[in-house]
Chain A
């Protein structure tokens, strides 16, 4: 079993839709969690950290469920510019960051 697993997609949604991605992790000792965004042929960039209480940044909401060992990213009112690959990143518990394979989102007009 991979340490961090994501559904690769692609998720094809119309503009204005709400879309959610989940990411599961295997190490229950993991302490910090992040979502990164990677545009085609570019470097990954930090989208948001994921806090235990959940956090929101505009149209983006991140949640952590420690009991079930997953994190989620919710995007409301999708824009064309949200089309990208979203990487789930988990601190393994020893401090090492483990990257998921990424989930591809394509927002259609």
Chain B
């Protein structure tokens, strides 16, 4: 079955540590996205990538970094510079960024900073 996988589902981190969230898709989509969702809030775009080896900052990129070395993979690193990293992180993909198509989401990673 085609889809998006994220791991781990739950992640606990101590303050001051960097942590990397995994996102893999086998939908052959060019575009991939990372969102953050806080309780009772909407989605906020962190980073997105239209194609391999290219990515752009979203609305709240500070304290985060990404890479896109393979089409299937778009890992997100939450660095110690992120002031309030506890949140629900969602990865998504789409056929292409500038298209009429919908996005598909992975199941999410819930990060808690202790």
Chain A residues with a Cβ under 8 A of chain B: 31-32, 34, 41-46, 49, 87, 89, 91, 94-97, 99-102
B86 to A: closest C-beta gap in Å: 14
Within 8 A of A (CB), among B49-101: 88, 90, 94, 96-101
Main secondary structure of the interface of B (DSSP, over half): loop
Chain B residues with a Cβ under 8 A of chain A: 41-43, 88, 90, 94, 96-108, 110
Query: Which 9 residue pairs are nearest across A and B when measured between Cβ atoms?
Result: A95-B98, A101-B42, A43-B105, A32-B100, A99-B43, A43-B108, A46-B102, A34-B102, A44-B105
Which residue from A31, A94, A97, A101 sits with its C-beta under 8 Å from B103?
A97
**Closest A residue by C-beta to B35:** A99
A41 touches B102 (CB 8 A): no
Which residue from A91, A95, A101 sits with its C-beta under 8 Å from B41?
A101
B42 touches A42 (CB 8 A): no
**Closest A residue by C-beta to B90:** A43
